[in-house]
Amino acid sequence: MARHAKIAAWFTVDQLRTWMQEAPDKDSYRRRLAIWLTFLGPYPAGQIAEMLGVSTQAVWKWVGEYNRSGPCGLDRQGRGGRRWGLLTIEQETALLARWEARAQAGDVVTATQFHTEVSSAVGRDVSLAYVYRLLHRHHWRKIAPRPRHTRQDPAARAAFKQTSRSRSR
């Protein structure tokens, strides 16, 4: 047998009906209608979800939010955004601006070097992965020259290019 949700008494019946009918948009109306249907009769959450075209978990969540916080509990914002950002985008841009001149001049800038400055700006030690994500977020990418041997002879290399057989033959 399916469980039936109970609605907390935040409104009278007439106030609840009016609140449900005065929803500002379709999503709010759907949430408020779930509360109204739960209040009206012994409808299980699965049946209400089927009537509204949403998941059963959504109905239970809406009823729980309404019971805990009242009508304003359903008027919530989405979950988007940078909830775990340690620095704002502007602070990150300012940090990178200091290193950009060095990178433009041809200096090799590594994430490990940048890590200490980011840690001091945040005020605590951050992981190297956080630094890599920060660099990726600002479209910095790894550009490294091809490795060259320290004692190579450029003349010998040019001669080898002229005399070696190509692989396409």
**36: helix, strand or coil:** helix
pLDDT at 120 over 90: yes
pLDDT at 169 over 60: no
pLDDT in tens, 139-158: 988 766 677 787 888 899 88
CB atoms within 10 A of CB 66: 23
pLDDT in tens, 45-61: 889 999 999 999 999 99
- Segment 111-128 mean pLDDT: 92
Nearest-angstrom CA–CA distance, 13 and 113:
64
Q: Which of 32-36, 84-88, 165-169 has the lowest mean pLDDT?
A: 165-169
